[in-house]
Structure formats: structure tokens, C-alpha cells
Amino acid sequence: MSRISIPSIEASPEASKPLLAAVKKQLGVVPNLMRLVGHSPAALEGYLSLNGALAKGKLNVQLRESIALAVAEYNGCDYCLSAHDYLGRNVAKLTGDEIAAARDARAQDARADAALHFARRVAETRGRVTDIDVAALRAAGFDEAGIIEIVVTVALNVLTNYVNNVAQTDIDFPVVNARLAA
């Protein structure tokens, strides 16, 4: 059971209700994470705004979902692993093998593999990557905007990993458990 209550949409703060309604319109449901974060309309608006902005960026949905899986595995977030396994399969159309590889920060495609390795290094080092890490990402074809978007995607996923790990959010997706101890 979640440590922090997960309110219904109706019981959410007034300022969160239109944001949650927009989530429902887009996804057809309102995941527990959104309702949980909706305790703070400011936090929900910030999360949704950043997530929406990144969707318009240089990284495609497959890479963003793969980064989410790599970061969730590293941080041991079962809620996020469950959500991004589901989204990876059903939205990004990743295969089971691609999802398994992403959880290990790997990909068959060399460019995606470099991005996932870098994303994992960002998480492991708390952003204190080396010049070699950045050079490897550039060699794989990422420009400054791409590098920044990978870092921000990692940060957004760390945010949700931490919220869910603190709250022990009830999982409302098919359950996937972390393999690694963070």
C-alpha cells in the first residue's frame, strides 16, 4: 500500500483537476503517479510540462522510453519499470528484447547504445561524467541539444523514480520488478 495517499481525481486539489483531466484525455486513464503528484498542483504542472516539452525534442519516443527503463532499473523503481515496460511495448513499440537490453543500458543500434550508456553514467555519477563519456556520445552523432536532452530525460526519470520509491506508489500497470540493487 502506498505510503502517501493516492487521491481520486475528484478528491484532488482544484488546480490539479484540469491537469489530471488532460492526462486522462491523452492516455485514457490517470496513472497513480499522476494522481499522487497531483497532491501538489505545482509539482504536477512542472512534471507534465517538462515531459511534454521533451516529447517535442530531438530524442524519439523509443530512446526516451529506453532511457526511462535504464534509469528505473538503476534506481530500483518497480513502479517506473512497470509503467515504462508497458509504455515501451504499447506506445514506443519496443520488443521484449529491446526492453530487456534497455534495462541494462544497452541497445542493438550503436547510437541508441551510446545514449543509454551515457544516461546510465549520468545516473551513476550524479552528472559528474568524464570528458570521455561526452566524447563517446558526440562520436555517436549527438550534438549539444541531444546531450542536454539525454541529461534532462535522466533527471525527469530520477524525479519520478524518487517520488515512487519514497511513496511506494501502488503499481497500476503489469508489475515489473527491478533486477539490480541500486
Using alpha carbons only, give the angle 70, 72, 76 rounded to the nearest 5 degrees: 120
Q: SS3 for 158? A: helix
- The Cα 28–Cα 123 span in angstroms is 31
Q: What is the pLDDT of residues 156-172, one digit of tens each?
A: 999 999 999 999 999 99
pLDDT at 119 exceeding the cut of 70: yes
Domains and CATH numbers, the chain: 1-56 (1.20.5), 61-167 (1.20.1290.10)
pLDDT in tens, 131-146: 999 999 999 999 999 9
The whole-number pLDDT of residue 68 equals 98
Residue 181: per-residue pLDDT: 52
State phi, psi for 106 to the nearest 5 degrees.
Answer: -135, 160
Averaged pLDDT, 121-129 = 98
Instruction: Please give the C-alpha separations between residue 65 and each of 10, 71, 119, 128, in angstroms, as whole numbers.
Output: 30, 10, 12, 23
Distance CA 84, CA 75 (A): 14
CB 129 within 8 A of CB 121: yes
DSSP-assigned states of every residue in 61-122: HHHHHHHHHHHHHHHT-HHHHHHHHHHHHHTS---HHHHHHHHTT--SSHHHHHHHHHHHHH
pLDDT at 135: 98
Q: Does the pLDDT value for residue 51 go beyond 70?
A: yes
pLDDT in tens, 57-107: 999 999 999 999 999 999 999 999 999 999 999 999 999 999 999 999 999
Residue 182: pLDDT band with limits 50, 70, 90: very low
